[in-house]
Amino acid sequence: MKTTMHRRDVVVALLKDRKDLLVVAGLGSTAWDISAAGDTDLNFPLWGAMGNAAMFGLGLALAQPRRRVLVLTGDGEMLMGLGSLATIGVQRPRNLCVVVIDNERYGETGMQVTHTAAGTDLAKVAQACGFASAAQVRSPGQLAGLRRKIHGARGPHFAQIKVVAEKLPLVLPPREGVLLKARFRRALLGKDADLV
């Protein structure tokens, strides 16, 4: 079944009424997606560190077990860090969700196809690594259920959401790393975080 979902619509739907959800985005399109949905201090968009978005989420989820943590990343970024799914499967943090926005392309470098275009099933990888739930998402009707998992159900959860391959206008978050780090810590930990 060919997907008709658009990535920015998907991300807006997942982040609707996000409350105090903590969000890490992988470099490239998913960082622009969360910014298009509304840049906030509790977003940590990566501009580098390719392959490591899920591990940022794991460290954050272990440090903040009472908060929900969502990692949104692309298929190319996730493919570079497949081992991190095994590492998360060992730790099994119940407050972590990893969602791959899968357009089957390297979107920032000329839309070259990734492994998922040839059928690599990231959800099956996550399932085999011990995630509490892992699924491919191909229709908008599945998004409400996934959103409920992100905000409450015992994880770790994984979803691979098939979206249309499209070039979209850039919506850029701040790009200075120190600023992104400091604003996130202040919003999460309070001003005392500056004095630690």
Is 54 a binder of other proteins (CB under 8 A)? Answer: yes
Rounded to an integer, what distance in angstroms lies between the CA atom of residue 176 and that of residue 196? Answer: 21
Structure-token match 């960082």, residue found: 31
Is 49 a binder of other proteins (CB under 8 A)? Answer: yes
Is 180 a binder of other proteins (CB under 8 A)? Answer: yes
Rounded to an integer, what distance in angstroms lies between the CA atom of residue 88 and that of residue 65? Answer: 14
Interacting residue with other proteins among 4, 38, 91, 164 (CB under 8 A): 91
What's the length of the chain?
196
Residue 191 CB neighbours (<10 A): 8
Is 86 a binder of other proteins (CB under 8 A)? Answer: yes
Continuous H helices in 50-176: 53-63, 75-80, 82-91, 122-128, 143-151
Print the binding letters for residues 7-26 with other proteins: x by CB under 8 A, - otherwise. ---------------x-x--
Residues 134, 105 contacting (CB under 8 angstroms)? no
Is 34 a binder of other proteins (CB under 8 A)? Answer: no
Is 108 a binder of other proteins (CB under 8 A)? Answer: no
Residues lying near other proteins in the complex (CB under 8 A): 22, 24, 44, 46-64, 81, 83-84, 86-87, 90-91, 177-178, 180-181, 184-185, 188-189, 193, 196
